[in-house]
Structure 1
Amino acid sequence: MDIYQHFRKEEHAFIDQVLSWRDNVQQNYQVKVSDFLNPREQKIFTSIIGKNEDYTWGLFGGGADTERRRAVLAPFYEEISIDDYGITLLEARYPTKFITLEHRDVLGAFLSMGIKRKKLGDLVVQNGIIHIIVSSEIDTYVKLNLKEIKKSKVTFEDVPLKNLLSENETWESQATTVTSLRLDVIIKEIYNISRQSAATYIQKGLVKVNFKIVENPAFQLEESDLISLRGKGRSKLKEIQGLSKKEKWKITTEKLK
């Protein structure tokens, strides 16, 4: 069976990467640790590795509910521990009386340093506290070089993973049926707008799927895809249950309130 037929063409490079990890573990008996994966990449990884007795594997991002996670793939005889994921929680504080920081301000500061998004896990900005999960290999670099965010002086320090702040996010779930899995159709359903409006948003580059801008209204969504519509928030295609007797797709979506 051709494994690629089950995934989008633009996902084939990531599939090749996962297959190379698997082959390397099998041939060289080495443990592989990935960068941070988004939910869709985690699903692909899980689908490919599956329940194979030759390997042991896991996904972890610092907490029970973290969205972005690193994968560890190892020979079957290895025992995976939290330390194997190479994850560090960094904390900084800032005076809320004088400055307001948002998620995008902090993320922008990291990216402006040349740090790739795949080296960063979940980010929480709450009540004067910044928490960000990072790959341990960039921990020292961040602490030495990131000293200011939006004109606010900051000092990042390592703190235990158990201290990770909760996002305090509420996702509203909805089960429904749709005529197709096109992006414009799903956006229409989730955000309660017309299909024409949904198509316009997409064509104007205001919609992202898995953190990448998609400008094609006919783009086919898959299970676990993350969606963001500028000005209207984030959502996800949580589950695809299959076709109904009336040939409509039964799906479950979630929208961040």
Structure 2
Amino acid sequence: MNEEEVLVGRIQDLAEQCYHRDVPSHTEFLTLAEQDLFYRTVNKIPGVRYVLSGGYEAAERKAALFLPSYAEDGDASMLPIVVVRISPLNEKFADALSHRDFLGSLMNLGVERYKLGDILIDGNQAYLICMADMADYICAELKKVRHTSVYCEVEAGLPEELTEPKTERKEGSVASVRLDAVLSLAFSSSRSKMVPLIEGGQVFINGKLVTSPSASLKEDDLVTVRHMGKFRYVGVQNQTKKGRLYVAVERFVS
């Protein structure tokens, strides 16, 4: 079996486990493509309830939790994920550390990528969202990031300023709320350059793969374009005399 078939089987097994035993069951962290596969798989399984979470609203990597009968809809509290803060031992002698530096050091410990969620950078420290069963190992073993000595602590949650990512609002007129038109506005590019990205499987709306340039956006849709970034579609603000739509997006900035 290929990787996609293995994941489908795993999702089906977890859904069945939750249904028959009435206990929570969960996946590891899923990429955007895997989240799309998850949605397509569970849509064929009647009666399942689930929630996806990555520890904060705008998370890209998320784990899926199947909900037992006694859980409330949308309750992700039974998902065993935690926040680990990784900080330099001595800020004065620390390298300028990037997302790639932190991820590389974690991977060098032998930690599987699916055990790790998003890594949020705050100055020269990082907040790692990970599966709870990896937290003790990471805290015990991660001593250096590049040439910088670090220490790790499990936190109660993310700092509030990190749960609300910085955004830049952009407004402009489009002929319609087609995906390619709004992408062109959000990334200051031409529609002709956006279409191949959409048709090439690089664009996700709310974690679901979309390959049609003519797909329509709805208010508050979260759009992610691989290697380019993501934005939230705010919606139509006005209509011009010539019938064009004046829309707004909020693009996430690091």
Q: How many residues align?
A: 225
Deviation (angstroms), 1:126: 1.2
Consecutive unaligned residues of structure 2, counting only runs of 5 or more, are 205-210, 216-220, 237-246
Where does residue 85 of structure 2 map in the other structure? 91
- CA deviations on 1:154-197 (whole Å, 9 max, x unpaired) are 11111112546516421546684579867xx8765543335676
Where does residue 99 of structure 2 map in the other structure? 103
Q: What is the correspondence of 1:1-257 to structure 2 with a 5 Å cutoff?
A: 14-15=7-8, 17-38=10-31, 41-42=34-35, 45=38, 49=42, 54-78=47-71, 84-94=78-88, 95-98=90-93, 99-161=95-157, 163=159, 166=162, 168-172=165-169, 176-177=174-175, 188-194=184-190, 220=212, 226-229=224-227, 233-235=228-230, 255-257=251-253
Deviation (angstroms), 1:16: 5.0
Deviation (angstroms), 1:32: 1.2
Relative to the length of structure 1, the TM-score reads 0.63
- Greater Cα offset, 152-161 or 14-23: 14-23
Any conservation in 1 of the 2:52–2:76 contact (CA below 8 Å)?
no
Deviation (angstroms), 1:27: 3.6
Alpha carbon RMSD of aligned pairs, Å? 4.6
Deviation (angstroms), 1:149: 0.5
Q: For 2:167 and 2:5, locate their aligned partners in 1 and report how far apart those are by CA, in whole Å.
A: 33
Deviation (angstroms), 1:72: 1.3
Deviation (angstroms), 1:150: 1.6
SS in 1 for 2:102: helix
SS in 2 for 1:124: strand
Deviation (angstroms), 1:86: 0.8
Q: For 1:114 and 1:22, locate their aligned partners in 2 and report how far apart those are by CA, in whole Å.
A: 29
* C-alpha spacing 1:17/1:88, structure 2 compared with 1 (3 Å): same
Relative to the length of structure 2, the TM-score reads 0.63
- CA deviations on 1:223-245 (whole Å, 9 max, x unpaired) are 8552134xxx413585999xxxx
Consecutive unaligned residues of structure 1, counting only runs of 5 or more, are 1-9, 211-218, 242-250
User: What amino acid sits opposite 1:33 in the alignment?
Assistant: H
Q: For 2:106 and 2:146, locate their aligned partners in 1 and report how far apart those are by CA, in whole Å.
A: 12
